[in-house]
Amino acid sequence: MTQARRLAPETANAILVRNPFSGAEVGEVAISTASEIAAAVARAKVAQHGFRHSTPAVRRALLNNLAAEIAADAETMARLISDEMGKTIREARNEVRRAQNTLKLSGDAATFLDGEALHCGIVEGGADRMATITYEPVGVIGAVTPFNYPLNLLCHKLGPAIAAGNAVVAKPSPKAPLAAQRLRELALKAGWPADLFQIVQGGADAALSLVQSPINLLSFTGGPDAGLALKRASGLVRCLMELGGNDPLFVLPDADLDKAVATTIGHRFEIAGQSCAAVKKLYLHRDIEKTFTEKLLAAVDAVEFGNPALEETDMGTVIDLAAAQAVAARVEATIARGAKLLTGGNHDGTVFAPTVISGVDPSSPVIADETFGPIIAIRSFEDPSEAIAEVNAGSYGLQAGVFTNDHALIKMFSRDLVVGGVMINEGPDFRVEHVPFGGVKRSGLGREGVRIALREMSETKVVID
């Protein structure tokens, strides 16, 4: 394994992007100044003014054309994503495929932004008038995106925004800024108006400048502390925020254990555990804990990890050396509290070994807060209601997974878990592009997912005649 020599992501005027595995330079982007960001928003307002009355057919054509350009550029884009943030080439190809679907579904949704008509005279003496409810674009959307899905999460903001008739000024993570830059190049190639979709670059200062510009809506994906800071800075601007999760997966005695093992590994080790809805806490019923753990360890041992550019690699790197060191510190502190390290726990630069820890106390660092790393932390339980209460006592509420075929238990988990989504016989990281996605408590505000995001990014107008 080659230890990355990744430099700090920002110099004085530019972001130098290095491959997290090899340390090789991947690219460089200029950091946008506050005045450049304000100018981009101003241009976007002009572009949106001319676009707001565009037809659904025009919007769908733009989105489909961009999806087609991504398809033509798919392998180049996948290599770029893998190189800049360390996910495997197979994972990167899947992200590129999903991004195309997100844009095409957004184009389809543009043709179904339906209003409704309500009669005002529904009570005695009510006016004999009709209220027509329509949905209009909000204006300019500021989109702030994370490093872990640098293409598809941007498309989840861009697609519905354009479908609703808005303009977008996006600021990607400084840890993975290149895919977003490439996406704008492809949009121009697809015939998009130059200022309808723009990219600004930088870190926290650039995000702050963006939200303090006269945008009309902020769509943010990232950590809760950063999200709260931007929400405060944005004043009365509407905010949609996906702020992460500390998601559980429950496995009950009647579950298909082999499928649950495969799902646990697939949902926790995807992009080296750096997904907001990954399995952060694995709750095993005591009746199957021993058998499940044996199956799990055998499957973990078969995971190929290391160089993300190789076709056979199942799991790549974490985003940088600081991230690997932070995960290692959490593992060490958790073991110091009495947990048992079953496998892994070590890292070579940015390559963190797939790790399983059992007997984890709920206050232990690996599960007390969201951990972005390939750590499976096992909790055991007997009473499902107590396990549910433990999860609900936490500060996050994104999604949860439950493996059981017991209908009564399915009803209990679905009803009682305080989360945005419950996945039955699936992991919490299961997501479909057109289905609502988001959480409660510290996990965020509002929902993504093409259909609901289209409404979130629209203003309701009532005309009574």
Which residue of the set 84, 91, 242, 448 is catalytic? 242
Distances (CA, A) of 57 to 102, 133, 163, 307: 17, 21, 10, 44
Whether residue 276 lies in the annotated active site:
yes
Q: In what order do the strands lie in the sheet with 444-445?
A: 197-199, 167-171, 140-144, 217-221, 238-242, 444-445
CA gyration radius, the chain: 23
Closest CA to 303 of 363, 343, 248: 343
Cα 162 to Cα 67: distance, rounded to the nearest angstrom: 13
Whether residue 28 lies in the annotated active site:
no
Strands 421-424 and 375-381 come out as unpaired
C-beta neighbour count of 440 within 10 angstroms: 13
Query: For residues 189 and 67, is the Cβ–Cβ distance under 8 A?
Result: no
DSSP designation for 35: H
Q: In the numeric block, which tokens belong to residue 52?
A: 């707001």
Q: In the numeric block, which tokens belong to residue 443?
A: 């996990």
Cα 36 to Cα 326: distance, rounded to the nearest angstrom: 34
DSSP designation for 31: P
Query: For residues 179 and 26, is the Cβ–Cβ distance under 8 A?
Result: no
Give me the phi and psi of 47, to 5 degrees please. Answer: -65, -40
Strand partners, 118: 131
Which residue of the set 69, 276, 289, 426 is catalytic? 276
Task: Enumerate the active-site residues.
Answer: 242, 276
